[in-house]
Structure formats: structure tokens, C-alpha cells
């Protein structure tokens, strides 16, 4: 294993499909209400689970976010590689591909039995007063702990 940061299509085709490459793991049990009665977990429910997993990471990076700023999704992409079914649980790997001036490019992988079922890439922007706001040096340092590494 090296410390090379994985970006772009390399992430989706290689490391994004391996749980070990994500620095943060969030485990969640699927609920009956997540499925459509036939066992298929709705894509919208999976997006909501992604929010829960990302919120844990955001809290660790931003600390007390009630201090006049927020994080907003400005771009999102989900690749549904395999059907997610109820019952069971998922491990959602969360990592950061890139840290910008006021933004984070995040990646998530949804895993069951070492198989990636969903891969997601999002761009999150820090805002204050309705405008983008630069990440502080402390926030950047905390975000670096979540960089996806090979």
C-alpha cells in the first residue's frame, strides 16, 4: 500500500470498489421500510443513508458547524452497480478525493460481503451568508485525515 492519492476515474474503477481504501466506515442495518415490499431498497433510501454516513465525517471535519456556516451538496452522482436488497446491512465507506478552497470532493462506496453495490461521488461546498466560504486551515487539516489513499 502506498500513500498515493487516488483521483478521477481511477477511483471509480479501482479503489472505489474496495472498502479498505476508504478511511471512514459507517455501518447501518437496512429496515423493512427501506424496501419496496419486494426486498429492493429504493435508490432514494440509499441516498439518505449516504447523508447519514457523510454527516459523521463532516462533524469531525467542521466541528461546531452552527457558527454561521454550512455544507451544501452542489453536485452528486450515484452509480448503482448491483441491486441492494432487504434484509441485511451495509458498510458505507467515506473518503475525500480532493480538498479545494471551499469545497470537498467526496466518494462513498456501499458494501456488503466485500462487494461494492453503489459508488457515489459528491462535491460539497462550505457556505456562510449564502456564499461560498474558504475552509479554515484547521478544517483542511482535519479533512486531510479522510483522504482516500491506495
Segment 25-55, tens digit of pLDDT: 999 999 888 887 788 899 999 999 999 999 9
pTM of the model: 0.86
pLDDT bracket for residue 2 (50, 70, 90): very low
Q: Considering the chain, what is the average pLDDT of its residues?
A: 86
- Give per-residue pLDDT as tens, 75-113: 999 999 999 999 999 999 999 999 999 999 999 999 999
How large is the average pLDDT for residues 7-14? Answer: 50
pLDDT bracket for residue 130 (50, 70, 90): confident
pLDDT of residue 65: 58
Buried b (16+ CB within 10 A) or exposed e, 104-128: bbbbbbbbbeeebbbbbbbbbbbee
pLDDT of residue 14: 54
> Strand 115-128 vs strand 69-80: parallel, antiparallel, or unpaired?
antiparallel
Amino acid at each position: 500500500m502506498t500513500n498515493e492519492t487516488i483521483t478521477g476515474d481511477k477511483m471509480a474503477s479501482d479503489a472505489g470498489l474496495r472498502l479498505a481504501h476508504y478511511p471512514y466506515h459507517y455501518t447501518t442495518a437496512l429496515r423493512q421500510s427501506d424496501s419496496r415490499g419486494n426486498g429492493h431498497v429504493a435508490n432514494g433510501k440509499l441516498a439518505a443513508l449516504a447523508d447519514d454516513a457523510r454527516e459523521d465525517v463532516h462533524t469531525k471535519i467542521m466541528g461546531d458547524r452552527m457558527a454561521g456556516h454550512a455544507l451544501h451538496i452542489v453536485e452528486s452522482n450515484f452509480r448503482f452497480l448491483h441491486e441492494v436488497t432487504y434484509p441485511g446491512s451495509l458498510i458505507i465507506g467515506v473518503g475525500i478525493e480532493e480538498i479545494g478552497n471551499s469545497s470537498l470532493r467526496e466518494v462513498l462506496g456501499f458494501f456488503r460481503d466485500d462487494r461494492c453495490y453503489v459508488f457515489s461521488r459528491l462535491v460539497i461546498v462550505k457556505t456562510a451568508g449564502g456564499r461560498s466560504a474558504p475552509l479554515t486551515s484547521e478544517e483542511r487539516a482535519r479533512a486531510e485525515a479522510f483522504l482516500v489513499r491506495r
